[in-house]
Amino acid sequence: MRYDGQVAVVTGGSRGIGRAIAEKLAAGGASVVIAYAGNDKAAEETVQSCRKLSEGSEASIICVKADVSNEDDVAALFEKAMEINGRVDIIVNCAGITKDGLVLRMSTEDFDKVLKVNLYGAFFCSRRASQIMLKQRYGRIITISSIVGLRGNAGQTNYSASKAGVIGMTKSMAKELAGRNITVNAVAPGMIATDMTSVLPDKVKDEMTRTIPMGRPGTAEEVAEAVAFFAGKESSYVTGQVLAVDGGMAV
């Protein structure tokens, strides 16, 4: 798919799934604004990778440090995107964190922090992007949910709540924005091989893998392929949908 002349903002874009998405869109000719929370080195590496993939196009690739749970940071992020590119066609809400623990011992702080980044962050970015897209009468809003937002997971009450919230938000926004040629969709990855899952004990990873009909974890690139479809003009009649990229876990 090609995104020539389009501008994409990818939050959580410096590593893992976010990086794979940024690279996929850059390879398709999009100008990409990579938003990241704190790892300057990883962000710069992603910028360089995207620039190589976009060689031959007129796309611009930049990174902007932003905490998506902070409204002022989100405002500054989109101001920078508009200053450089003059438009925003695609927003991919990929920034996310986990603070796992059983609900009986989960602190209010840990519950609140996960919702602020995963759910409020997606809301702040989608709201600002939609204001720009309404004037353009075109846009693609894609949020990374999770399979645990569909089926839950012990020890992840906060994370599950945030990702289930993303799904409800996606469906509501889709109804509000469809008349202006703006689609709103979500991708729900299952177990994906990233830095986030690499820290899990081998026993936990083995147990999770046994629940996957395809018998293996997914890759960040496989999630990026789903996002690429929702981001393209080819998906113009698809909105309010949640696509599970999970090897069959939710079947």
Catalytic center residues = 159
The strand pairing partners of 140, in sequence order, are 90, 183
Cα 87 to chain centroid, rounded: 19
Burial class (CB in 10 A: 0-12, 13-18, 19+), 72: exposed
Phi, psi of 213 (to 5 degrees): -55, -35
| Look-up of token digits 């704190």 | 38
Beta-carbon contacts of residue 120 (< 8 Å; ≥ 6 apart): 68, 69
Whole-number Å distance between alpha carbons of 128 and 172: 16
The strand pairing partners of 11, in sequence order, are 35
Tokens of 217: 């974890």
Dihedral sign of CA atoms 39, 41, 44, 50 in order = negative
Cβ atoms of residues 81 and 33 within 8 Å: yes
Whole-number Å distance between alpha carbons of 148 and 189: 9
